[in-house]
Structure formats: C-alpha cells, structure tokens
Structure 1
C-alpha cells in the first residue's frame, strides 16, 4: 500500500509519525507534499525513505490512499489542482469535518472518505471517526480500517454527528487537559506542592481513570459512586462541581457547533460560490 499526504501540519505530521512508529507503514510507502516544501524535506530527513515532493500532484500519482490534511478553505484549490491526476480506484481521505462527503464526491472522480483523527492516536489510543463515501466498497472499508487500527479504534459515524463526536474525540483531550491544568494550578496555589509533582500525580490519575472507563468497564457514574462515600470529602467536592459547572459543557457544545456551521457555510461558498445546507 502506498499512501500520499497533502499537508503535513500538526495533524498530518502526527499521522505520518504514528503510522511509521506503529509499524502500519514503512517510510518508503509514504509520499508527502506541503505548501512549504522545506517542511516536507525535514520530514523526509526524519524518516529516511519517505519521499518529499514539491507538488501536490506528485503526492497523488501511484498512491492507493491520499490523506488531505489542509485547512477547510484550502480544499477547493487543492482538489482542483489534483483532480486530473486521480484515478477511480484511488481513495481520497479528508481529515476535516466541515468539508462534506457530497462536496468531495462532486469534486473528484475517485473514492472518498472522511476520517477525524485525535491527538490520542499518537499513543495508538482513542478513536478514528470514519465516514465513507458512496463509491467505497466493503473491501475499501476493510483496507482503510485495517490501516487505522494500528493507531486507533476505527469507529463509523453518521456524518450528521460529525461535530459532536469530534468534540468528544478530537477536542476532548484539550478540554480535559485544560480542566486538569486548572486542578494542578489550584493544588499548587492552595498547598504549595511542587507543580511537577502535582502534574505527575494528576496525569497518572487521568491515565488510570481512562483505563477504568474503558477496559475496566465502568461508567462515569459508577466510578464516582465507587470513590465518593456518602457524606465524605469527595461527595462534598462533587456537589460543588455540580453546582459550579452546571451548563458549562452545554455552552461549550453550542460554541463548537456555532463555529462548525460558520465553517460549513464558508466551505460551501468556496466550493459553489453560495451557501448551502449541511449536516
């Protein structure tokens, strides 16, 4: 399998590093292009055998799968530049939610899919959220999921739910680490414990909590019940959190969805010159 990458920013380079590190791909199986070619050259230096190419078209030719890791408003120009180099049996994968499968299928002659990765994939953990275009066969899905399974748990989702599942899977690590940072800050300010010690303890706690909620088969409610003794310290603190955080995550979700719908409209204008309705 040969895999091309167009765009090697934060997520593109993370995917390449992780596919190689996990053994899913050898560097010689990867071709990468980037708007700043020197960045692609640096990536090739880090992974000897990886081919850095100056043109996006060069990252398409002879590739089985091509990951598009560019900003949503760049998609139309990128697709226009590579369309005549694409073949029907190739698979284009978008990693951004505001670009719709319908828009992709209208723009290219090949198969398309959307995969929303997460920074957790860097540790070969978390999910990869998958949406498959109408031209994909069962064999195509099996091949793609087989590649993604090296670094994640591939999970098929409805495109209409792309934003909320992205909140949980892709934005969630930033949200949870922000809350952890605030917990650590408060511990340091209130008690004088060293920041490094607090960070290590809190980070290990979060790792163990994640394991309890996955391989330990506990729900969040069950975990809280196991820790919080009625009338005890944890129960009091949970009651405080329940009061203070009431509605906070509803506002977070409304905020991300508002930005998503704004992005949907801007992408539609870039593709069609007018606004269209999306999921």
Structure 2
C-alpha cells in the first residue's frame, strides 16, 4: 500500500515522521511532494527510502491513500491540479478542518475522508478526529482507523463538531501551554523557583491528571472536589480562578468558530458553492 503526502510542512512532515518512527508505515510505503525542493531533500535525508515525487500529480497517481496537507485556501488550486489524476478506488484524506467533505466529493472522484491530527502524534499520543465521506465503505474506514491508531487514538466525529473538537484535541496543547507558561513565570517571579524544575513538576502533573481522567474514572468536577477540600488552599485558589476566567472560554470558542466560519465562507466561494451546506 502506497501512502502519499502532498505538502510536507509542519503537519505533513510530522505525520510522515510519526508513521515511520511508530512502524505504522515503512519508508518504501511513502511518496511525497512539496513545492519546496529543499523540504523534500531534508525529508529524504531523515527517511532514506521514501519516494520523492516530481509533481503533485505523480503523488496522486501512485497513492492508494493520499493525504492533502496544505493550507485551506490552497485546496481549490490543488484539487484542480490533481482531480484528473485520481481514481474512484483511491482514498483522499484532508487534514484541514475548514475544508468540508462536500467540497472534496464534488471536486474529486475518489473516496473522501477528513482526519484532523494533533502535534501530540509526534509521541504517539492524543486523538485524531475522523470524518468519513459517503463513498467510504467499512473496509476503507477500518483501514484508515488502523493506520491512525499507530500514532494516537482515532475518534470518529460528526463533521459539524469538527471545530470544537479541534479546539480540544489540536489547539488544546497550545492553549494549555500558554496557561502553563504564565503560571510558571508568575511562580518564578514570586518565589524564585527554578523554571526547569517548575516545568517538570507541571508536566508530570498534566500526565497524571490525564490518566486520572482517562483511566482513573474521574470526571473533571469529581477531580476538583477530591483535591479542593472545603476551606483549604486549593479551594480558595480555585474560587479565584473561577472569577478570573469568567467568560474566557466562551470568548475563546467564539474566536475559533468565527475564524472557522470565515474560512468556510471563502472555501465555499472558491469551490463555487456559495454557502450551500448539504449536511445542514
């Protein structure tokens, strides 16, 4: 089975690295193309044995599963470029959240899926968000789920929940890292604690908290109740957080959904669909 990647930048390159280092794919299974010859050359140095295509069309023709790892506004030009190269039995996977299944099913003859990855796949962790188009059979879905299981936990979602699910699984590491960074800086300024030690303490705490939520049977509220003893230090600090963060998460979601809506409207215009959303 040949797995192709058009675009080998931040996320495309991460997926290739993760699939190969995890054993999910072998170098000989991978074919890649990129408009930057330098990026392809570096990729070949990292992973001897992968096939470097001379064009996106070559990657499209030779792939059984084809990952499209380009920016949202580049999709229309890309589908115009490779549409005539693709066949009905091939599986095409978009990793870009605003690009809809209906955009690609109308533009391409192939079976279509959308899989939103996460930076956490670089350590074979986190969730990949899977949306399956109407042309995919059960065997096709199983093949994609099995491939993604090498680098994380694949979760099938409804496409209309793509944005909020991505907020948690894909944007979440950045949001949490910002919170951690500010917390550590405040702690270092106030007490002089070594920042490297603080990072280690917080990182191990995050790992443990994740396990309590996934393996320990706790809900977020139950975990708060267990740690924050009434009248104690944690409870008092938690009350301060509740007041300080009032409305923050609602505004965060409004921001991500607003940008998503703008990108979707632009894509509808590019694909000539003028806001006609068949799944709504």
TM-score scaled by length of structure 1: 0.97
Q: Distance in 1 between matches of 2:274 and 2:243?
A: 40
Deviation at 1:275, TM superposition (A): 3.3
Residue 171 (structure 1) aligns with: 171
* Shift in CA distance, 40/162, structure 1 to aligned 2, threshold 3 Å: same
Q: Distance in 2 between matches of 1:175 and 1:112?
A: 30
Contact 1:4 1:63 in 2 (8 A): yes
What's the secondary structure of 2:257's corresponding residue? helix
Residue 66 (structure 2) aligns with: 66
What's the secondary structure of 1:176's corresponding residue? helix
Q: Distance in 2 between matches of 1:54 and 1:75?
A: 19
Residue 36 (structure 1) aligns with: 36
Matches within 5 A, 1:16-31: 16-31=16-31
Deviation at 1:226, TM superposition (A): 1.4
Matches within 5 A, 1:5-154: 5-154=5-154
Residue 206 (structure 1) aligns with: 206
Q: Distance in 2 between matches of 1:58 and 1:39?
A: 17
Contact 1:37 1:54 in 2 (8 A): no
Residue 155 (structure 2) aligns with: 155
Q: Structure 2: where are the runs of 5+ without partners?
A: none
What's the secondary structure of 2:62's corresponding residue? coil
Aligned residues: 278
Deviation at 1:62, TM superposition (A): 2.4
Task: Give a deviation string over 1:196-230, Cα, whole Å, max 9, x none.
Answer: 11111111111111111112221111111111111
Deviates more, 1:194-203 or 1:254-263: 194-203
Q: What's the Cα RMSD here?
A: 1.1
Task: Give a deviation string over 1:48-83, Cα, whole Å, max 9, x none.
Answer: 101112310111122110000000010011111111
Q: Distance in 2 between matches of 1:155 and 1:245?
A: 29
What's the secondary structure of 2:4's corresponding residue? strand
Q: Distance in 2 between matches of 1:200 and 1:126?
A: 20
Q: Which runs of 4+ in 1 moved over 4 A?
A: none
TM-score scaled by length of structure 2: 0.97
What's the secondary structure of 1:98's corresponding residue? coil
1:276 aligns with 2:261: no
Q: Structure 1: where are the runs of 5+ without partners?
A: none
Q: Distance in 2 between matches of 1:78 and 1:37?
A: 18
